[in-house]
Structure 1
């Protein structure tokens, strides 16, 4: 998997202008996940505690040490993508197009009714079209260069989802892509908020990601952060004493971010919530001394400060939940340092889907917005004996009905990315 640290631009941003005071709000959500192929289907499955983790079916996983995944199994691309695009798009790009279409419809955005450069697209990716690339490389190896599709030139690229969404909907505003692994979904939304503050009325943002193919699988397995268990019920158990790693998955969420004043002026059907604060930090180099979770703690504290919030103002934390003892310990230490022992409810609904690369944090953000909308926090499944040393108030077993006015989403990427985002009711 890619661990590129820099953000890449997929379009010209135009001349920089001073940011203005504005509220950037989420007005549309589109979800593609292992447990639901729409926002409401995903939400219903999540509250029912449905797990989408199972043995990989896309290829034979037996030669690999990791054999489970949160796989999307019932997606029919022909129902979501025009025939002319099927030959030139990767599986994940098709999922992204479907999620973007749902999000735009949810927000009742009509691109033709906005200025020509009024809608941008900023997504995140950790792999690009790996499955497409794997297939074409196999053709090259087995059949020769004449059999490789010309679309390989861009279908594999990590910016392809941004590009295809832009083309599909004729969106010509400021666009880009962020590459920061699991943290990418939050980083993309934060970058989109900057564009809204600088005058772009609407930005399509978030991430749908994954690489469930042999080529992508090798990269993920080599990280050493995934469980080798063959039991879907016990493989991914973050914050348990004997946690053995996470489970990879595919999917995510695309969101519509708008200037609140402009959104209400155009009669937007609903406002899910406001992006109130964000920060990102990077871990020190391996081997350097430091307090466990210190960089993550700084990201949380800075996001709270930007939101003008105190720790006591946060109703729930959506945890990164890496599922390895060391990373779970450092995240728990960061949360304890900010909120105190068992100071705030914490949940990790990604235990039902697996870790979705850049799509995971975007899906957690969408989930937090739905929790605010409906006043219910989905549970962390499969976790029955949390390590008491972590001192976390984990929501396990069943959903928790509670008033949710603000949520913190935490995400960490491979080799040191930390991001934290605060979302509030508008």
Structure 2
């Protein structure tokens, strides 16, 4: 791959429980300030789980035109605002690009569930005349890609990836493929937000959601007390460009999407090894790097003991015993499903720029843990290459390698 066809990140937009905007998110994350608490979007008293990581102080009307509010779910509002911020961060005026040279590729796990629940309630209680025409698309998994494309006049390659928590990395990788095939600019990343009764009931069926009430003991990956994860909302939207496009317009580059791979685990009871290790090795090969080149790993961090053991074993097998720092900032944001991977990518790029690896909060690993977890406080480090991992429910594995801008 030539230097000109490399895919670089030139803009970041974040809406997350750690803050609105990249700066707020990064300040909270490097300081180890968590966003998990009792769910306030609705009364969770009648449900087995009551903790969530909500985005604070988000006023869609302050950021979006009034005409968009009746036709969008909260998750799409998060995505539209983050896309606006990412484009501004990249110093891009979409009107100066050919409309067919800009594409949008995002991921989703649940779509606009809160909007859909409201319309189903109207249908049940008032009748079909009271169901919004916007229901036809506001609930749909691809709605974020569509609304971002419409708002910014982007008519290039577009789509959506649905592979649960692995989806956000998969979307970025598919966007990189479009750039390699000649599209100069892609908007990519993911958002999820299912903090409504319908979404809450669906999330609980995974059997992986924590049922306790103490936020500081709720999401503890790689900890012997681990008992599930805490759902969150939000994610990140990134601006990806070919290196040539970015150079020609004098853009600031956060880093390069250097390598990627995806695998799928064998069926339970098949007697074959989980496939996460293979995803890591394939991603390193795609980037042309070796394990010794990686300066930090952003872990998937399931918070489920058997899944944590699989991930720790894969990292240990590739890198060696405590040979690379490992962190899981999602202990502050909860598990954001498709939004988790892009947010970790954004955080990894900020780690490279700032020379600080953010901590994994509240976790107390055992003395014989094979991982060098960054716990308690942030760690100063020179980071030139980072590995981001994500796994989706049912067996999806994705690994993405980032390298620092030259």
Structure-to-structure mapping, 1:159-198, within 5 angstroms = 159-198=142-181
Secondary structure class of the residue paired with 1:87: helix
CA distance in 2, matches of 1:361, 1:349: 11
Q: Residue 422 in 1 paired to residue 405 in 2? A: no
1:107–1:256 CA contact under 8 A, matched in 2 = yes
Distance 1:369 1:360 in 2: 14
Q: 1:377 aligns with which of 324, 339, 357?
A: 357
Q: Where does structure 2 lack aligned partners over 5 or more consecutive residues?
A: none
Residue 211 (1) aligns with residue 226 (2): no
Matching residue within 350, 354, 377 for 1:398: 377
Q: Distance in 2 between matches of 1:169 and 1:115?
A: 11
Partners of 2:114 and 2:198 within 8 A in 1: yes
The answer as to 2:315 corresponding to 1:335 is yes
Give a deviation string over 1:234-289, Cα, whole Å, max 9, x none. Answer: 01110011210110000000000000111111121x10000000000001111211
How many positions carry a matched residue from both structures? 405
Partner SS state of residue 419, structure 1: strand
1:247 and 2:230 matched: yes
2:102 corresponds, among 99, 119, 122, to 119
User: Per-residue deviation at 1:390?
Assistant: 3.6
Alignment of 1:68-79 (within 5 A): 68-79=51-62
Equivalent position SS for 2:76: helix
Matches within 5 A, 1:182-331: 182-268=165-251, 270-291=252-273, 294-331=274-311
* Matched residue, 1:13: none
Q: 8 Å contact 1:26–1:271 — kept in the other structure?
A: yes
After the TM superposition, list the runs of 4 or more consecutive aligned residues in structure 1 that deviate by more than 4 angstroms: 18-21
Equivalent residue number for residue 35 of structure 2 = 52
Deviation at 1:22, TM superposition (A): 1.3
User: Unpaired runs of 5+ in structure 1?
Assistant: 1-17
CA drift of 1:60 comes to 1.1
2:353 equivalent to 1:353:
no
Rounded to whole Å, the distance in 2 between the matches of 1:272 and 1:59 is 38
Structure 1 CA distance for aligned equivalents of residues 184 and 53 of structure 2: 35
Task: Tell me the CA shift for residue 209 of structure 1.
Answer: 1.1
8 Å contact from structure 1 (residues 236, 323) kept in 2: yes
Q: Cα deviations across residues 80-120 of structure 1 (Å, max 9, x unaligned)?
A: 11100000000010000000000000001111211220110
Cα deviation, residue 73, structure 1:
2.8
3-state SS of the aligned residue for 1:133? helix
Q: Is the 8 A contact 1:117 1:172 kept in 2?
A: yes
Alpha-carbon distance in structure 1 between the residues aligned to 2:17 and 2:99: 35
Which whole-Å CA distance do the structure 2 matches of 1:273 and 1:192 have between them?
15
> In 2, are the aligned partners of 1:376 and 1:399 still within 8 Å (CA)?
yes
Q: Distance in 2 between matches of 1:37 and 1:396?
A: 24
State TM-score, norm by structure 2.
0.98
Q: Could you state the TM-score of these two structures normalised by the residue count of structure 1?
A: 0.93
Check 1:153–1:20 CA distance in 2 against 1; reply closer, same or farther (3 A cut).
farther
Question: For the Cα contact (< 8 Å) 1:20–1:197, is it kept in 2?
Answer: no
Q: What CA distance in whole angstroms lies between the structure 1 residues aligned with 2:304 and 2:210?
A: 9
1:226 positional shift: 1.1
Q: 1:366 aligns with which of 320, 333, 346?
A: 346
**What RMSD over aligned residues (CA atoms) do the two structures have, in Å?**
1.3
